[in-house]
Structure 1
């Protein structure tokens, strides 16, 4: 995926993202969408124009963390925009090297801000105009050309998303999520600044993936099949048959776990806690020890 999304190999497993542990803020149905002025004093709104009409979210949420800003604008039927931007401050960021998506209702695929056949194409941008740390709200604008993410389908044309606006979107910080992640690499603590958790489908199987990233943009991802309960599961290096998997990305090189195990200590419908250890593939393997996670998914 590095030739498609340069921001992190974290996306090798976290190919779709979810803002976890956020309270969904309903939009005021009486707002005038023409009143956007970035004053950060009004109600939350999220809108964009495409296919000849204006689309307006009915719920919004955001996360501002060490390396990333995540923003969602959704409708009750499940369709909506999801953004994951490598940033933590105001500024304009290119769409093709970040993740801006629109997913139609009932689809596992959507329109992504990267042209998979030409990753260097300038597909648009997202601008963070204000991060209000007093009210914990974030505002900005966006526009991007979205390409269908199922590359096996060539009949679906790109969609241009224009006049995108998100204003006064409530956000939480990484410290407020209550999620935790710990591991040592060769005996040295892996100090994370971001934790992202989501459920993804790989073929007919669903996985819960927990990804952590440090300030140097190295990342670690732990994945377990959603169907697994409490217990200890071996990592054998066979991605087809193993119910658990792990990846360590160091200096933009992806190292998969060759041996090890992941233990699910507790699991509910929304939260999972466990331990892990593994040794990676590669000429000089990395040894990951004392791994632990406790996250909402």
Structure 2
């Protein structure tokens, strides 16, 4: 089973993604085979409970690219957002998604993520994609996770994100076969050990940023 190896730089870039709408070509009806249904109707909605309050995004958007779905529930104009990156483009339940909460602070680049520093290869929580409407280009589902602050030295407690829902979120990009990524090697040195992430590479770009997500087969001890 493949596990995430998350670098702090990756988490900063994920929170910095901004989405812009663009004109797209009509989708071939042959691609409308995601397991969901079309014509769901209703306004876009993205919300999740944490810290005793309900977070409601006022500008939720999504992007499908390179075999992954990225959903950003943005609130306000200060950069606050809850972000989901799912390494799939079909209806289903996924336990290997990357989920983060960016507080929007201009003085602290840290953020909550579903990565326990004590077990960095095992992201927690799950995302369930319940519908991908390829006719109207909207996506819906649910999610939950436990977030850990990215700066371990701050010694902050974990934060539970519960009852998360995203409904009729507009997306850019197209649903289709995952393209081949011509990467011969992608590795990084962590705690003095070089780890090869070339098993599976996902690349996405938006708003002037590029995000590279590398997966590696977990060692037998992690299975």
* TM-score bracket, shorter-length normalisation: 0.5 to 0.7
Q: Which has the higher contact order (CA 8 A, sep 6+)?
A: 2
Distance in 2, Cα, partners of 1:105 & 1:209:
17
Which residue in 2 is equivalent to 1:149? 150
* Count of residues paired in the alignment: 177
Taking structure 2 as the reference length, the TM-score comes to 0.66
Q: Which runs of 5+ in 2 are unaligned?
A: 23-37, 176-180, 185-200, 218-223
For 1:62-211, what aligned pairs fall within 5 Å after superposition?
A: 62-76=62-76, 77-94=78-95, 97-106=96-105, 107-119=108-120, 123-154=124-155, 156-173=156-173, 195-197=203-205, 210=210
Mapped contact 1:174–1:194 kept (Cα < 8 A):
no
The superposition leaves residues 231-257 of structure 1 with CA deviations (integer Å, 9 ceiling, x where unpaired) of xxxxxxxxxxxxxxxxxx9x77xxxxx
Taking structure 1 as the reference length, the TM-score comes to 0.51
Distance in 2, Cα, partners of 1:103 & 1:170:
21
Larger radius of gyration: 1
Would you tell me which structure has more helix in proportion to its own residues? 2
Which residue in 2 is equivalent to 1:14? 10
Of 11-20 and 81-90, the range deviating more from structure 2:
11-20
Tell me how far 1:197 sits from its aligned partner: 3.1
Would you tell me which structure has more strand in proportion to its own residues? 1
Mapped contact 1:19–1:71 kept (Cα < 8 A):
no
Tell me how far 1:98 sits from its aligned partner: 2.5
Distance 1:8 1:68, change over 3 A: farther
Distance in 1, Cα, partners of 2:209 & 2:17:
13
Distance in 1, Cα, partners of 2:9 & 2:53:
34
